[in-house]
Amino acid sequence: MRVQKEPVDVLIVGAGPAGLTAAIYAGRALLSTVVLEKGLPGGQLNETDLIENWPGFADAISAPELMRNVRAQAERFGASIVLDDVMGIEPGSPTHEVATSQGTYQARTVILAPGSRPKELPAENAKRLKGKGVSYCATCDGFFFQGKDLLQIGAGDSGLTEALFLTRFASSVTIAVRHPQNDPKAFRASAILQQRAREHPKIRFLWNRIVESIEGDTHVSGVRFRHLETNEPETRAFDGVFVNIGHLPQTDAFRGTIDLDDDGFIQTNIHLHTNVPGIFAAGDARVNANQYAQAIVAAGEGAMAAIEAEKYLAQ
């Protein structure tokens, strides 16, 4: 059982772009800083291949490499990164108590940056066949589908990025889109990703379809769709299904303590203050984060939250 004897100035929950950037700013302000992360530091960027739109890199950079650099920068300024799972927060004054799977911490301020997890596909057999041809991470699993015919579900930035990545391995990648081809709402992705996907010889589109069922006994063998205009069912053969239909905030540990919206996102004011004085939030788990869902936005919010924590401590 780990017990933090001396309170830390800033305790950060989550070591993704928001949490690690907050750690850089808190460390540079000479505040004692601990970052708690239950998984691999770097957050969802560990499941991303390349980043092309991070300022300062004329060429694309490996997302995991970028996050290793950000982590090293945070540690250079004195932040301690601890692998531990936060179970709950007990607000207090002058310190808040943070309970983890390995002990407790006392913190004068807390920055919540727990990030989010992929939404699961609400289709028959999707859960049963997860890991058996159904995947939520192209960079993790794409290699295992060399020469296969794949279905990508999700037409936002992340979905098209994954589809383009999968073309390195697959014979074909089909993107299922629930809207008609000429509907302005068909894509939520940036124009450049749309262009790349449309022009790629291995990528094709299925318009006006929703997925009703994943077919297969021990492994994915196909997908049953429903055409939204004709209402007709249709089954097509696929070797694998990759899903990217959005994310859910990882905020269960804060429920009942921190104000959340109906979807579980942390509610804050424009300065990233939660309803509890001295507790701030940043990144993908914060309310309205899904409007942007960009690593650079999360990093910016992490910087803001650390600055607000510094101001709070100076009062």
Q: Is the pLDDT of residue 219 over 80?
A: yes
Q: Do 283 and 185 belong to one domain?
A: no
Active site residue 140: yes
Q: For residue 173, what pLDDT is reported?
A: 99
Residues 261 and 182 in one domain: no
Q: Does residue 253 share a domain with residue 201? A: no
* pLDDT tier, 243 (very low <50, low <70, confident <90, very high otherwise): very high
State whether 86 and 230 are in the same domain: no
| Annotated catalytic residue, options 140, 183, 252, 263 | 140
CATH number for position 167: 3.50.50.60
Among 174, 169, 173, 119, which residue's Cα sits nearest to residue 146? 169
Same domain for 50 and 190: no
Question: Can you tell me the distance from the alpha carbon of 242 to that of 151, in angstroms, rounded to the nearest whole number?
Answer: 6
Q: What predicted TM-score, i.e. pTM, was given to this entire model?
A: 0.84
Label residue 199 by pLDDT band (50, 70, 90): very high
- pLDDT tens, residue by residue, 273-307: 999 999 999 999 999 887 777 899 999 999 999 99
pLDDT-based confidence at residue 105 (cuts at 50, 70, 90): very high
Token pair of 265, please?
Answer: 């996102």
What mean pLDDT, rounded, does the chain reach? 94
Domain end, chosen from 243, 270, 287, is at 243
Using the 3D structure, point to which of 182, 213, 243 is the last residue of a domain.
243
Specify whether 137 is catalytic: yes
pLDDT at 33 over 90: yes
Residue 30, Cα to own-chain centre: how many angstroms?
A: 29
The answer to whether residues 225 and 132 belong to one domain is yes
100 and 210 together in one domain: no
- Write down the catalytic residue from 49, 137, 149, 259: 137
- Please indicate, yes or no, whether residues 153 and 204 belong to a single structural domain of this protein: yes
Same domain? For 127 and 239 the reply is yes
Q: Last residue of some domain: 243, 267, 298?
A: 243
DSSP, collapsed to helix, strand or coil, labels residue 169 as: coil
Average of per-residue pLDDT across 97-109: 97
Question: Quick one: average pLDDT of 63-91?
Answer: 97
pLDDT in tens, 162-197: 999 999 999 999 999 999 988 888 888 899 999 999
Q: How many domains does the chain have?
A: 2
pLDDT at 2 over 80: no
Average pLDDT score over residue span 6-33: 98
Q: Can you state the angle between helices 295-314 and 17-28, rounded to 10 degrees?
A: 40
What pLDDT was estimated at residue 1? Answer: 61
Catalytic hit among 84, 141, 239, 284: 141
| Model confidence band, residue 96 (pLDDT cutoffs 50, 70, 90) | very high
Average pLDDT over every residue of 61-67: 93
Q: Are residues 89 and 124 in the same domain?
A: no
Query: CA 236 to CA 218: how far, in whole Å?
Result: 17
What is the C-alpha to C-alpha distance for residues 247 and 117, in angstroms, rounded to an integer? 5
Residue 210, token pair as written in the block: 């929703």
Task: Give the containing element (helix H, strand E) for 118.
Answer: strand 116-118
Is the pLDDT confidence value at 203 over 70?
yes
Average pLDDT over residues 137-162: 93
Q: Reduced to 3 states, what is the DSSP secondary structure of residue 305? A: helix
Question: Do residues 74 and 181 share a domain?
Answer: no
Domain housing 194:
120-243
Residues 112, 138 within the same domain? no
Residue 196: burial class (beta carbons within 10 Å; 0-12, 13-18, 19+): middle
